[in-house]
Each structure stands twice: as C-alpha cells, then as structure tokens.
Amino acid sequence: MHVEDWAEIRRLHRAERLPIKVIARLMGISRNTVKAALAADGPPVYRRTDVGSIVDRVEPRIRELLKAYPSMPATVIAERLGWDHSIRVLSARVAELRPVYLPVDPASRTSYQAGEIAQCDFWFPDIELPVGFGQSRTATTLPVLTMVTGYSRWASAVAGPHPPRRGPIRWLVGAHPGVGVVPRVLVWDGEGAVGRWHGGRQLLTKECQGFRGVLGAKVIICRPRDPEAKGLVERFHDYLERSFLPGRTFACPADFNTQLTGWVAVANTRRKRSLGCAPADRVQADRAAMMTLPPVPPALGWANSLRLPRDHYVRLDSNDYSVHPAVIGRRIEVRADLLRVRVFAEGKVVADHERAWAKHQTVSDPVHVQAAKALRREGIVLIRPRLEPVVQVRDLSEYDTALGVDGGVA
C-alpha cells in the first residue's frame, strides 16, 4: 500500500465518517486492507528482508581477534581469516564491532572561566600589500597578530612590520590593543620569540620569562602538530580568510589595519551559536576577571640602547633612521612600536620617525641633515682655521744691486 492510499483511507474514515465497506468500494480495495490501514500507527514503510551477509559466518572469529587485539587493522584480520572476498565488506563489519572491544575513552568538553585564557597566533594573509618605496609584502612577510579570549571569544587582530621569528615578546604582546588588563594564561605556538618544546618540556625565551614575570601571567606553548590546542584562534583565521579578505584591496599598511580593525569590531557583535550571544555581550565580564597591569607596566614594543655613531643614524629592521647629531657619542635609547621609531637622550626626544615597512631604506629628518651640515662646517673651521697668506716683501735696492743699476740715476 502506498502512503497516499493510507492517508486517503484515514481521511475518509475520520473526516468523512464513511464506513469501511464504502471506503473499500470507493478505492477498489478489500475491507481487510482498509482495516489494516486504520489499525496502523504510522504510514506504511518498505522494509527489505535481511538476507544476511557473507561476513556473518566469520563474525565469531572476528570477535575473537578483536577481543585479543582491539586495534588490529581490518587488513590484518582479513589475512588471518584467509578472506578472499571484498575487503570493503569485511572492514565495514570490523568498524562496527571494534568499539565494543576498545576501552572507553570519552572526550572532555573544554570550558573556560572568565579572564582565564587567551589564544595567540600569527595569521599570514594571502595578499600583496604595498609598503612604499616601490616595494610590497606578501603573505610570508606580513604577520598579523591575532588574539581570541576563551570565555567571551572576543577577537582582535593587528598587522605589524616585524617578522615573528625576530620580534621580541614585548612587541608580540604589545601589538595587541590592550585595555589595561591581561589574561592569566597566554597560549602560543612554538614561536622563536616566545618559546618551543625541547626534550619533552617547553622552554621559554629569557625575554618571555622576564615579561611574563612582570605581568604575573602563565605562557603555554602548544606541542608541535597540535592545532586543536588553540582551535579558537585557528577558526578565527579561517573566518578572516572567508569573510574579511574576499573583495578587498589595500593601499598601504595603515589602510589594511584600519579595514581590519573595523571588520573585527563588527564581527565581535555577531551572535555565536556556541555562546548563545555575541562576544560583545560577555567581554565586560571577561575583562573584569582578568589581572590588572602592575603599577609600573612593562615596556612594550622594541627597545635598544647604544652610543650614537658619527654618522648619526640607527638601524632597525634593515632600515636606517636619522638622529640629531648634537648627541653623537652619547648614550641613546631607541624605542619602536608598530607606528613610530623614537630616540631618547637623557629623557629628551632627539628623533621621531614614522616606521617604514619597506626594507633597506634610509629615513632622514631634514632638521637632522641641516644640523649635521652646520656642525660639519663649524668643525672644519675649528680644525683648519682660515689665515691670511704670509708673503715676504723684499727691499727694492736689492734688485738695483743685482742688476748693477745706480739707485741715484733717474
């Protein structure tokens, strides 16, 4: 009986209140068929008669092998049985029986407390970004630092000019737009500036140890080839590639970061099914439970101290930046972040440049160049002062004597 006939029989009986013999006459079927349709709890379903499988006769032997060796591959079981039929049929039965003999291994569900953890990583967008001076950066040289908090799933991202393998941990954490708080745990991949796994344990760099000590935070390095350990930030990278990049063009690094920041701000207001709300609805609770920064916060960005050489330029990331020549030979401190490169001498700013993303460039301040020329001219005058030429003046009578001329004759 088709489901259409079954439905019509029930309609005629329940809605039209027709007797069984009338329904049988109208539909041209027997009264027993009508009675069976009315007695059924659900629509008729075709059920194929189970005729068995060729694996049934060897199933007891399969169970014996799996009981002794639960992880035995299906190919090995086929060899032990002398199986000469399709391996697909046998492997399907082995896959059905194997869970019965494997030890129970339930998966734990990961949950995060407010303020507990943040996952950090680098994303390398597959684009070509102009950086000035006729140069551009591709994915391998365009690191984007990303962070996702565990409790609220609040995400942030910012592109930086420094390759992650050479960037210190101060830049890596400092690039994240902070709000005066820090999570208790930071999860990282094995980045050269953060740490790595060696000899079965994680080894953090000296600078990372010092920086996390100031913050009072814990740093966890994921084991190699374990992307699930930081699945939140990995899914965020996939979201960036599918939703942020398509259809966009970027004029410069500042344009890239502006568009990226705007998109992330909107993404944080979108509802997440796993949370039942948007990250923006939980971020305040997340921040309230995080640790506050110490009274003297750690210095962020890149810093170095040196004596200014005679050419009054300092090098940072393959680029040279000019410094006022008045502090040549004195101890200076170079501080750089994502946007600016500043040089200090005794607490005073002696250079302030926009950070260049291009490579092998010389960035000069016209004031520094003019000051160097003036000092150079003064130095030349002091070392080689200008003197009037000394010329010996002879007496004219000596010429008369030499020529035999009487001086008294006109």
Domain containing 286 — which CATH number?
3.30.420.10
Residue 17 lies in a domain: yes
Residue 404 lies in a domain: no
Which of 259, 292, 325 is the C-terminal boundary of a domain? Answer: 292
Q: How many domains is the chain partitioned into structurally? A: 4
What global pTM score does this model have? Answer: 0.66
Which of 266, 292, 318 is the C-terminal boundary of a domain? Answer: 292
Q: Are residues 82 and 215 in the same domain?
A: no
Q: Are residues 193 and 283 in the same domain?
A: yes
Residue 297 lies in a domain: no
Which of 292, 312, 346 is the C-terminal boundary of a domain? Answer: 292
Q: Are residues 362 and 246 in the same domain?
A: no
Residue 210 lies in a domain: yes
108 pLDDT above the threshold of 70:
no
Mean pLDDT to the nearest integer, 273-298: 86
168 pLDDT above the threshold of 70:
no
Smallest Cα–Cα separation from 122: which of 178, 177, 173? 173
Q: Are residues 12 and 79 in the same domain?
A: no
268 pLDDT above the threshold of 60:
yes
Q: Are residues 279 and 207 in the same domain?
A: yes
Residue 109 lies in a domain: no
Q: Are residues 231 and 130 in the same domain?
A: yes
Q: Are residues 31 and 86 in the same domain?
A: no
Q: Are residues 379 and 352 in the same domain?
A: yes
Residue 50 lies in a domain: no
Mean pLDDT to the nearest integer, 135-153: 89
Lowest-confidence region among 210-224, 244-258, 286-300 = 286-300
Structure confidence at residue 381 (pLDDT)? 53
Please give the share of the chain, as a percent, with pLDDT higher than 70. Answer: 89
**What pLDDT band is residue 299 in, cutting at 50, 70 and 90?**
low
Q: Are residues 153 and 252 in the same domain?
A: yes
Mean pLDDT, the chain, rounded, equals 85
Q: Are residues 217 and 277 in the same domain?
A: yes
Structure confidence at residue 200 (pLDDT)? 83
DSSP letter at 245 equals S
Domain residues for the domain of 92 are 56-101
Residue 403 lies in a domain: no
Residue 7, C-beta contacts closer than 8 angstroms, at least 6 positions apart: 43
DSSP for 95-135? HHHHHHHSPP-PPPPP---TTSEEEEEEE--S--EEEETTE
Q: Are residues 162 and 192 in the same domain?
A: yes
Structure confidence at residue 165 (pLDDT)? 59
Smallest Cα–Cα separation from 131: which of 278, 257, 2? 257
Residue predicted with more confidence, 383 or 328: 328
100 pLDDT above the threshold of 80:
yes
Structure confidence at residue 41 (pLDDT)? 80
Query: Up-side HSE of residue 17: CA atoms within 13 Å toward CB?
Result: 0
Q: Which residues is 181 bridged to in the sheet?
A: 292
177 pLDDT above the threshold of 50:
no
Residue 408 lies in a domain: no
Residue predicted with more confidence, 191 or 135: 135
Residue predicted with more confidence, 227 or 93: 93
69 pLDDT above the threshold of 70:
yes
Q: Are residues 173 and 261 in the same domain?
A: yes
